[in-house]
Structure 1
Amino acid sequence: MAYELYYWDGLQGRGEFVRLALEEAQAPYVDVARGAKKNGLGTDALLAALDTEAPYPPYAPPFLKDGDLTIAQTANILFYLGPKLELAPRDEGLRYVANGLQLTIADLVTEAHDTHHPIASGLYYEEQKAEAKARATDFIDNRIPKFMGYFERVLAQNPHGPKHLVGGALTYVDLSLFQIVEGLRYAFPKATKHFADHYPHCVALHDAVETRPHIAAYLASPRRIPFNETGIFRHYPELDKAKR
């Protein structure tokens, strides 16, 4: 039975971290909101799954259905899928390390989103441009170096070598860091121009993931939604600046 992934159509968003794991593992899945209404899919199906009267409904996408089980929240979904897709450490203790790293990535994703919506998600970007400029400047000067410097250090201190964040084999966290580098480069091309100089291990991991056969095929396919200005990572030139 195929996994059912519920996330908004037309944007990568937080659902992309789950898609990358499913694509790397070649796991069968249905991207529900992107399906045809005549097949019982589409946005209406997503909204119906949110408005369910069943116990423990999800708060918001992304969430995943595996048979009768519904798992919400990106890090939680990946913690569940990791062992099933052979994208988690075999050591149980390291699985919690991986989950902690994924939760840190979730913090970074939230801060990236807040560069263009620093006051309220319900307001348009154009209604908070001045505040967004100040938030993006701090994000570039202080928050990106703090997060990326941390991941660089985790890679450098991995006892198995700097090719992976956890253990000696690919995990879902490596795929997620790839997406972080991709997203930051899209949103802030000036600020990330010298990423390879500052964070060589992170960029090397990104480049290695990018060339993995299943990921490369996915990135070249129409299943990969392009970055755009409705997602988490948005390129507004006025918010980007060269890293000092």
Structure 2
Amino acid sequence: MAYELYYWDGLQGRGEFVRLALEEAQAPYVDIAREDDGTGDMLSIMDSKTDPYPPFAPPFLKDGDLIVPHVANILLYLGPKLGLAPLDDSRFVAHGLQLTIADMVTEVHDTHHPLSNDLYYEEQKDAAKVRATEFIDHRIPKFMRYFERVLKLNPHGDGHLVGDALTYVDLSMFQLIDGLFYAFPRATKRFGEHYPRLAALHDAVMARPNIAAYLASDRRLSHNESCIFRHYPELDKAAH
């Protein structure tokens, strides 16, 4: 049976980290929110009064009767099934890296919603400028220097974050970097100079046949200002 992916329609968002793994593996899946009344079906599952463990929020994955919530948890589940995760104990290293990516994604979101998710961006622009400046000056370098070091020190080499073959973590790193390029083009203008291994990983993932075909298809939604990675010129600045 096809996997069922539940996420908000019209957004890459956190769902895109799961889509990339499914697309790379050519696994059959249905993006439920893009189906007729798919969003209603998703909300019904979340609002279930009979399931003792309904998902709190999307994305979540349905595989038969099993519902798996949270990006890192979904990828921990899917990785071995799709051939995109180590089969030894280093799968937990991969999971830890994925959780660190999730931490950074949250910080990206908070650059444009630093005060409250219930306020519009326009209601918190001044705070967003402060938060985005701190993110560009301190948080992007802190995270990216770490991931660059992980790539450098991987004993297996080969340009992967874990082991000697592509994993879902490499795909997620591509998405994280791609989102940063969209949201902060000035701040990431010299990204390849500062983080050459990460830039090479991004380009290598983008060139993979299945990923390239996906990026060129109408299944790949565009970045937009309703998503996590938003380009507001007033929040972007050249990095030091």
TM-score w.r.t. length of structure 2: 0.99
Measured in 2, the distance between the counterparts of 1:65 and 1:206 equals 29
TM-aligned CA deviation for residue 179 of structure 1 = 0.2
Counterpart for residue 32 of structure 2: 32
Counterpart for residue 65 of structure 1: 62
SS class of match (1:178): helix
CA offset digits 1:34-74 (Å, max 9, x no partner): 1123xxxx211111111112120000000000001000000
Measured in 1, the distance between the counterparts of 2:158 and 2:25 equals 22
- Matching residue's letter, 2:30: V
1:16 and 2:16 aligned: yes
Measured in 2, the distance between the counterparts of 1:128 and 1:66 equals 40
- Matching residue's letter, 1:153: R
Percent identity over paired residues: 72
Counterpart for residue 130 of structure 2: 134
Question: How many residue pairs get matched?
Answer: 239
Counterpart for residue 145 of structure 2: 149
1:50-199 aligned at under 5 Å gives the runs: 50-53=46-49, 54-91=51-88, 93-199=89-195
SS class of match (1:64): strand
Q: Is the 8 A contact 1:156 1:162 kept in 2?
A: no
Counterpart for residue 4 of structure 2: 4
Measured in 1, the distance between the counterparts of 2:222 and 2:101 equals 20
Runs ≥4 residues deviating over 2 A: none
TM-aligned CA deviation for residue 159 of structure 1 = 0.3
Measured in 1, the distance between the counterparts of 2:62 and 2:75 equals 13
Measured in 2, the distance between the counterparts of 1:162 and 1:239 equals 35
SS class of match (2:119): coil
- Matching residue's letter, 1:14: R
TM-aligned CA deviation for residue 162 of structure 1 = 4.9
CA offset digits 1:183-207 (Å, max 9, x no partner): 0000000000000000000010000
SS class of match (1:11): coil
Q: Is the 8 A contact 2:158 2:165 kept in 1?
A: no
Q: Is the 8 A contact 1:64 1:72 kept in 2?
A: yes
CA offset digits 1:10-49 (Å, max 9, x no partner): 1100000000000000000010011123xxxx21111111
Q: Is the 8 A contact 2:183 2:230 kept in 1?
A: yes
Question: What stretches of structure 1 of length at least 5 have no aligned partner?
Answer: none
Calculate the aligned-residue CA RMSD, in Å: 0.6
TM-aligned CA deviation for residue 90 of structure 1 = 2.1
